[in-house]
Structure 1
Amino acid sequence: MYMKLSNEHKAQIKENLKEYFYNERSEEIGDLAAENLLDFIIKEVGPYFFNHGVNEAKDMCEQKMISLEEDIASLERPIKRNRS
């Protein structure tokens, strides 16, 4: 799975990576190094974040379904039984 980023987002992330390397490691990296790092992150690390998001969404949907079932059950009315 490969995530497609818009050119604007990709440029912003590359600038953030270059800034990070400069501020945290006192290294200057160029556009090519930043792009290679971004591609690596997307390919190798991205699936972990994607899967985590999918699992979070699944858990939220399950909770919403439980809540919906409880809400629907609360709408039921008691049935009076005729005594003969």
Structure 2
Amino acid sequence: MTLDYSSDELSALVDKVRTHFSTEFELEIGRFEAEEFLEFITGLVGPHFYNRGLYDAQSALMAKIDDINDAIYQLEQRDDAG
């Protein structure tokens, strides 16, 4: 995966990474290092989170389809003649 962020989004993420490293590790890193770290993390865990998002979306869609199927079933006319 590659980073596909607008320059504003990338700048905000880089600032958050730099702040995290400074706060948690007392380590000052530059913008280049923060961007490289973001690319590494994106490649490492990005596909997992992306696939999980797809799975969650599919599950939500299937739940809605089940609701629609139930509603259609409730509308079916019953043959009480037999």
TM-score calculated relative to the size of structure 2: 0.92
Q: For each residue in 1:31-71, what CA deviation from the matched residue of structure 2 results, as whole angstroms up to 9, or x when unmatched?
A: 01101001111112111110110000011111111111001
Letter in structure 2 aligned against 1:57: A
SS in 2 for 1:21: helix
Provide the C-alpha distance between the structure 2 equivalents of 1:3 and 1:63, rounded to a whole number of angstroms: 32
Alpha-carbon shift at residue 78 of structure 1 (Å): 2.0
Which sections of structure 1, spanning at least 5 residues, go unmatched?
none
Provide the C-alpha distance between the structure 2 equivalents of 1:58 and 1:77, rounded to a whole number of angstroms: 31
Which sections of structure 2, spanning at least 5 residues, go unmatched?
none
Tell me how large the CA RMSD over aligned residues is.
1.3
Letter in structure 2 aligned against 1:81: A
Please identify runs of 4+ aligned residues in structure 1 that moved more than 4 A.
none
**Counterpart of 1:43?**
43
Pair 1:24 & 2:27 matched: no
Pair 1:52 & 2:61 matched: no
The count of corresponding residues between Structure 1 and Structure 2 is 82
**Counterpart of 2:77?**
77
Provide the C-alpha distance between the structure 2 equivalents of 1:57 and 1:27, rounded to a whole number of angstroms: 38
Aligned-residue identity in percent: 28
Larger RCO, structures 1/2 (Cα 8 Å, 6+ apart): 2
**Counterpart of 2:68?**
68
Which one has the largest radius of gyration? 1
